[in-house]
């Protein structure tokens, strides 16, 4: 297992770490600030530096047994197991992912339909809704922007399956049903707006989302509306 520093503090941009393994040329660290692709959010990119050398991390993915794989650019030098490295994110890109990801929660809170899919990138993101109604883009944009301006606090906490089972009313308030069987679940709360299981990286408060724009709304089948958003 790699310690997932980004899970407790998504604002950490860098950390020191030790190389504990390799998998097909990808680097496994004892701890990392790099978010591995998952939940519609891309894997982080950045650099590893050690002994005056720098390797470019071009993607981050989950490996087997909870490891996190830092995929290196082909021509990059490669650290060895046991080396102490400094891992640094491409923070500008990741911060945009955090703004997008948090904005997606707001969009999901405004459009209260089931979410059937989604994808986040630094430039544009989308959520697919299980809905037949048409989407009033201006009304949705205004409602989301209102939640941004109100600057709601965003926080997470961990809860065990047993604690969850003991609080059926909590489960009822969640917009997405929590997965069971992993022992514990990470709950993401946007105060007064949204509560759901989510492992991604979020902002501290919705005000940091800033200006966003609702893009195309695509009809992807009778019961599917795809809503695109852009950050300006
Ligand atoms: Zn999330």
Which pLDDT score, from 0 to 100, does residue 175 have?
A: 73
Which pLDDT score, from 0 to 100, does residue 179 have?
A: 77
Give distance in angstroms: CA of 177 to centre of ligand 1.
Answer: 13
Give distance in angstroms: CA of 203 to centre of ligand 1.
Answer: 10
Give distance in angstroms: CA of 35 to centre of ligand 1.
Answer: 13
- Average pLDDT taken over every residue of the chain: 93
pLDDT, tens digit (0-9, with 9 covering 90-100), for 185-218: 999 999 999 998 999 999 999 999 999 999 999 9
Give distance in angstroms: CA of 107 to centre of ligand 1.
Answer: 12
Low-confidence spans in the chain with pLDDT less than 50: none
pTM of the model: 0.93
Give distance in angstroms: CA of 189 to centre of ligand 1.
Answer: 9
Give distance in angstroms: CA of 196 to centre of ligand 1.
Answer: 8
Which pLDDT score, from 0 to 100, does residue 36 have?
A: 97
Give distance in angstroms: CA of 13 to centre of ligand 1.
Answer: 19
Give distance in angstroms: CA of 51 to centre of ligand 1.
Answer: 36
Give distance in angstroms: CA of 25 to centre of ligand 1.
Answer: 30
DSSP string computed for the chain? --EEHHHH-TT--EEEEEEEEEETTEEEESEESPPPSBTTBPPP-EEEEETTEEEEEEEEEE-GGG-EEEEEPTTS--PPTT-EEEEEE-HHHHHHHHHHHHHHHHHHHHS-SEEEEEE--SSEEEEEEE--S---HHHHHHHHHHHHHTT-BEEEEEEEHHHHHT-HHHHHH-SSPPP-SSSEEEEEEETTTEEEE--S---SBGGGG--EEEEEEEE-STT-EEEEEEE-
Give distance in angstroms: CA of 99 to centre of ligand 1.
Answer: 10
């Amino acid at each position: 297992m790699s310690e997932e520093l980004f899970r407790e503090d998504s604002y950490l941009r860098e950390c020191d770490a030790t190389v504990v393994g390799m998998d097909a040329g990808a680097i496994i660290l004892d701890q990392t600030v790099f978010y591995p692709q998952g939940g519609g959010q891309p894997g982080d990119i950045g650099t590893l530096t050690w002994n005056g050398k720098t390797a470019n991390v071009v993607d981050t993915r989950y490996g087997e047994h909870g490891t996190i794989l830092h995929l290196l650019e082909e021509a990059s030098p490669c650290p060895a197991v046991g080396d102490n490295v400094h891992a640094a994110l491409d923070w500008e890109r990741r911060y945009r992912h955090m703004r997008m990801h948090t904005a997606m929660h707001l969009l999901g809170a405004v459009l209260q339909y089931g979410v059937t899919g989604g994808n986040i990138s630094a430039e544009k993101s989308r959520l697919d809704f299980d809905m037949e109604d048409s989407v009033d883009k201006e009304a949705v944009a205004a409602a989301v922007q209102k939640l941004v301006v109100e600057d709601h606090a965003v926080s997470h906490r961990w809860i065990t399956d047993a604690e969850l089972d003991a609080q059926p009313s909590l489960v009822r308030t969640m917009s997405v049903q929590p997965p069971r069987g992993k022992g514990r679940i990470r709950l993401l709360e946007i105060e007064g707006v949204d509560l759901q299981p989510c492992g991604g990286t979020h902002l501290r408060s919705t005000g940091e989302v800033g200006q966003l724009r609702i893009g195309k709304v695509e009809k992807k089948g009778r019961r599917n509306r795809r809503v695109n958003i852009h950050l300006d």
